[in-house]
Amino acid sequence: MTAIDLSSPVAVVGTGTMGQGIAQVALVAGHPVRLYDAVPGRAEAAAEAIGARLDRLVAKDRLTAAERDAARDRLTPAAVLTELADCALVVEAVLERLDVKQQLFRELEEVVADDCLLATNTSSLSVTAIGGALGNPGRFVGLHFFNPAPLLPLVEVVSGFATDVTSATRAYETARAWGKTPVACADTPGFIVNRIARPFYAEAFAVYEAQAADPATIDAVLRECGGFRMGAFELTDLIGQDVNESVTHSVWRSFFQDVRFTPSLAQRRLVESGRHGRKSGHGWYDYAEGAERPEPHTADKERPPAHVTVEGDLGPAAELLPMLREAGIQVREDDEDNGTRLVLPGGGQLALADGQTSVEFRDVVYFDLALDYRKATRVALSASQDTSSQTLTEAIGLFQALGKDVSVIGDVPGMIVARTVARIVDLAHDAVAKGVATEEDIDTAMLLGVNHPLGPFEWSRRLGRGWAYDLLDDLHLRDPSGRYAPSLALYRHAYATDKRESTP
């Protein structure tokens, strides 16, 4: 099944920001486009707004004047639904209410031809449930664009329980013909991105709620150590706290209140207070004119240790060893492989976050996972009240000798980046095992949909197949609520590798 022919009209119902964006994408691709909105005058206003954006594209040399004029000629506001009768595709972008969407598609089904593809841009509702109102749900599919639709390349093509393969394929190929990067997924709460991205927000909020670090410090660690484009607090301020929390609640409820998707009480209080982020002038941060942005916690300068002794290979942090040598710190190797840690001159130990806590051991400082220890500009350390001041001072000085800012946070298992990445990897494996999407499409979706530095499966390959399982298993022992219980899919993934490696 090929993409819808460019000569065939495409309709967009709902002319808000997303509807206008989708219409612009179809229009620039070359289709005649019909705009419909139930509120009189909105379709005409939307057509004018799209025309103005086309003017800006010409000013930026992204569109020629002739292409703009031709696109304008193909754009038609529709006063009634019957004007969409000859459309080959109708994309809905109206209010996120199941009853409203179902009623709209019942009406559309009475208007359009039998071979017209019907699509919803819903981000939080069940595609299956919306399509269930149709006499022929086989031609119904989800086409989830990301805002702003003209700029962001990702489109999740969602097959409902009753969606025909030919319909899904046609929608997929049409999105690709429009210059987008489509990914195919089953109808699951949150689809790909909003399902697998939940831990990025949830774990940051959990660390904050545990009073282990403030928002500015957590954001800085996610950015400067984890390699994420933005931290969770600043990103949700940009998205809108009310919007982000609504999606979280939708996914949580749709999974029958699965503890893995439990919303944040701190975020609930923020929303209740009216602090919705940038759009309200205050969220986690204050956006009033002249307001000072809080600085992340950064440790004072300390003297680096003269030497360290390495036990084991440090796993994902192995790159630290040549870096230490280059910084002039002597690295001694212990002949007995009895761990994966660095022993500091005072006898204290420095270990990569593994889901355990510092308070459990005699004198241990944990350091967080980094996307790239050479490029990272900040590293987080975690210590308990029982950790000696000498050990913490030596650990701070060691990373400062590598040119890193150091943030000391509370004694939380898995720290910040490590627990976040482990949970994202786990949800990704679980999604593949349950037929939601392929590994390749999940990685693509997370890279393009939320700008993660690596896809979950690229993280998994880089960190080792058992890394996420081991960390979550340790976390689960310390928080047996089920939130951190590794999925059966992740267990199988790690165990299968161990079994192969132990086979002669």
**Mean pLDDT of the chain, nearest integer:** 95
Least confident of 14-23, 337-346, 459-468: 337-346
Residue 498 has what pLDDT?
54
Band of pLDDT at residue 339, cut at 50, 70 and 90: low
The predicted-structure confidence for 276-308, as pLDDT tens digits, reads as follows: 999 999 999 999 999 999 999 999 999 999 999
Task: Taking residues 115-122, report their average pLDDT.
Answer: 97
Secondary structure class of 119 (helix, strand, coil):
strand
Has residue 336 got a pLDDT over 70?
Answer: no
- Provide the sign of the torsion angle of the four alpha carbons 469, 202, 418, 457, taken in this order: positive
358 vs 367, 468, 474, CA distance in Å?
Answer: 11, 19, 13
Q: In the predicted model, is pLDDT for residue 141 greater than 70?
A: yes
Long-range Cβ contact pairs of 289-297 (< 8 A, separation 24 or more): 293/216, 294/214, 294/215, 294/216, 295/216, 296/214, 296/216, 296/217, 296/219, 296/220, 296/221, 296/378, 296/405, 296/407, 297/213, 297/214, 297/216, 297/217, 297/407, 297/408, 297/409
Q: pLDDT tens-digit profile of 383-411?
A: 999 999 999 999 999 999 999 999 999 99
The 10s digit of each residue's pLDDT in 160-216 is: 999 999 999 999 999 999 999 999 999 999 999 999 999 999 999 999 999 999 999
Q: Where are the beta strands (DSSP E) in 231-295?
A: none
Q: What is the pTM of this model?
A: 0.95
Query: Which DSSP state fits 115?
Result: T
Residue whose entry in the numeric block shows the structure tokens 């969770």: 232
Contact 225, 371 (CB under 8 A): yes
Contacts of 119 (CB under 8 A, 6+ apart): 89, 90, 91, 92, 140, 141, 142, 143, 171
Which residues form the catalytic set? 123, 144, 156, 194
C-alpha to C-alpha distance for 174 and 6, rounded to whole angstroms: 10
Nearest to 483 by CA among 88, 142, 210, 132: 210
Q: Which of 504, 355, 361, 335 is nearest to 421 (CA)?
A: 355
**Predicted confidence (pLDDT) at residue 497 exceeds the cutoff of 80:** no
pLDDT greater at residue 206 or residue 503: 206
| Three-state DSSP class for residue 477 | helix
Specify the long-range contacts of residues 255-258, CB closer than 8 Å, at least 24 apart: 255/189
- In this model, does residue 65 exceed pLDDT 80? yes
Q: What is the pLDDT of residue 124?
A: 87
Radius of gyration of the chain (CA): 26
Q: What is the pLDDT of residue 502?
A: 43
Over residues 142-151, the mean pLDDT reads 96
Mean pLDDT of 42-66: 96
* Confidence class for position 338, pLDDT limits 50, 70, 90: low
pLDDT score recorded for residue 1: 66
Residue 295 tokens, joined: 């600085």
Neighbouring C-beta atoms of residue 403, cutoff 10 Å: 11
> Residue 362's pLDDT is what?
87
| Residue 501 confidence class, pLDDT cut points 50, 70, 90 | very low
Question: What element of type H or E holds 294?
Answer: none
430 has a pLDDT exceeding 50: yes
